[in-house]
Structure 1
Amino acid sequence: MDFDIREIRDYYDTEVQNYDYNELISLGISHDNADFMVSIGVPEEYNDFVFYGTDTIQKTLMEGVQFITIGHYACFGIHNSYGLYVKEGSDGLFTTSSLHEPQLYMLNKNVRTFFLFHLIKNEVAMKMRLQGEYTSYQYACELRRLFEQIDPAPMKDAESYWSHLVEDYETGL
C-alpha cells in the first residue's frame, strides 16, 4: 500500500500553521523538518497534538541538549501536557512522558514520519473496513508491520506513544 503524505491534509480539522522556511531554519529546525512544515503544512491541532506558530516556538535546554519546542501533546485526562520537540539542527521529533524512562524520548525520526504514521493509521483502518477485513488485532498487526518498515525505533521502545497505540489495538482496548 503506497501512501502520499500530502493526503494527510485531508485529515486536518484546523487551520494549517503559516511558517516561513528561512525563519524555521534560523530557529535551528532542520532543513527536512522545515521543508515539511512549509510544503505540506502542520495543523494548529491534530488529535491531541497542538503545534505552535513561529511566535510561540522556543528553544529549551533538556538533559544538556538544545531542543526547540514546536508544540505539545495534551491527551484528554492527562493533567500535564507533554512537549513536542525537535533537536536543534537534527531531524528527530521528541516528546516527554512521566511514564517513560528516560522521560525525553524520540517519537519519530522526523516530523514527516510522525504525520505519515497518522496517515497510515487512518488509511489502513479505512481500507480494512471497506474490504470487510477489519478486526482490532489484524489492524494492529498491519500497523506494526508498516510502522516497523518506515521507522522501527518507536516500535522497539515498548513505552513509546506508537508502541502503546498499537498495543491498545492488539489487546482490543
Structure 2
Amino acid sequence: MDFNIRDIRDYYDSEVQDYDYKELISLGISHDNADFMVSIGVPKEYNDFVFYGTDTLQKTIMEGVQCITIGHYASFGMRNSYGLYLKEGSDGLFTTSSLHEPQLYMLNKNLRTFFMFHFIKNEVAMKMRQQGEYTSNKYACELRRLFEQIDPLPMKDVESFWSHLVEDYETGL
C-alpha cells in the first residue's frame, strides 16, 4: 500500500495554520519540520491535537532540554493536556506524560511521520473495511508492521502514544 503524505490534508477538519519558513527556522525549528509545516501544512486542530500559530509558538525548557512548544494534546475526558514540542535544532516531535519516565518522550521522529502515522491509521482501516477483511487484531498487526517500518522507536517504547494505540486494537479495547 503506497501512501502520499500530501493526501493527509483530506483528513484535516480545520483550517491549516499559516507559517513563514524563515520565522520557523529563526525560532529553532529544523529545516525538515519547517518545510513540512509550510509545504504540506499543519491543521489548527486534528483529532485531539491542537497546533499553535506562529504567534503562539514559544521556546521553553522541558527536563533541561530546549524545546519549542507547537501545540498540545487533550483527549476528551482528560484533566490535563500534554504539550507538543519540537526540540530546538532537531527533527523529533515530543510530548509529555505523567505515566512515562522520563515525562518528556519522543512521539515521532518528525512532524511528517506523526501525520503519516495518522494517515496510515485511517487509510488501512478504510481499505480493510472495504475489502471485508477488518478485525481489530488484524488491523493492529498491520499498523504495527507499517509503523515499525517508518519510525520504529515509538513502537519499541511500550508507554508511548502509538504503542498504546496499537495495543488497544490488539486487545480489542
TM over 0.5: yes
Letter of the aligned partner of 1:152 in structure 2? Answer: P
Number of residue-to-residue matches in the alignment: 173
CA distance in 2, matches of 1:64, 1:170: 36
1:97-116 aligned at under 5 Å gives the runs 97-116=97-116
RMSD: 0.4
1:7-22 aligned at under 5 Å gives the runs 7-22=7-22
User: Residues 62-92 of structure 1: CA distance to partner in whole angstroms, max 9, x if unpaired?
Assistant: 1221000000000111111000000000000
Matched, 1:41 2:41: yes
1:27-106 aligned at under 5 Å gives the runs 27-106=27-106
User: Residues 84-105 of structure 1: CA distance to partner in whole angstroms, max 9, x if unpaired?
Assistant: 0000000000000011111100
Letter of the aligned partner of 1:126 in structure 2? Answer: M
Structure 2 counterpart of 1:135: 135
CA distance in 2, matches of 1:169, 1:65: 33
User: Residues 97-145 of structure 1: CA distance to partner in whole angstroms, max 9, x if unpaired?
Assistant: 0111111000000000000000000000000000000000000000000
Worse-superposed segment, 61-70 or 138-147: 61-70
User: Residues 36-76 of structure 1: CA distance to partner in whole angstroms, max 9, x if unpaired?
Assistant: 00000000000000000000000001122100000000011
Structure 2 counterpart of 1:145: 145
The ranges of structure 1 where at least 4 consecutive aligned residues each deviate by more than 6 angstroms after the TM superposition are none
Q: Which runs of 5+ in 2 are unaligned?
A: none
CA distance in 1, matches of 2:132, 2:27: 47
Identity level (%): 87
* Secondary structure of 1:85's aligned partner: strand
Displacement of 1:167 in angstroms is 0.3
Structure 2 counterpart of 1:168: 168
Worse-superposed segment, 58-67 or 157-166: 58-67
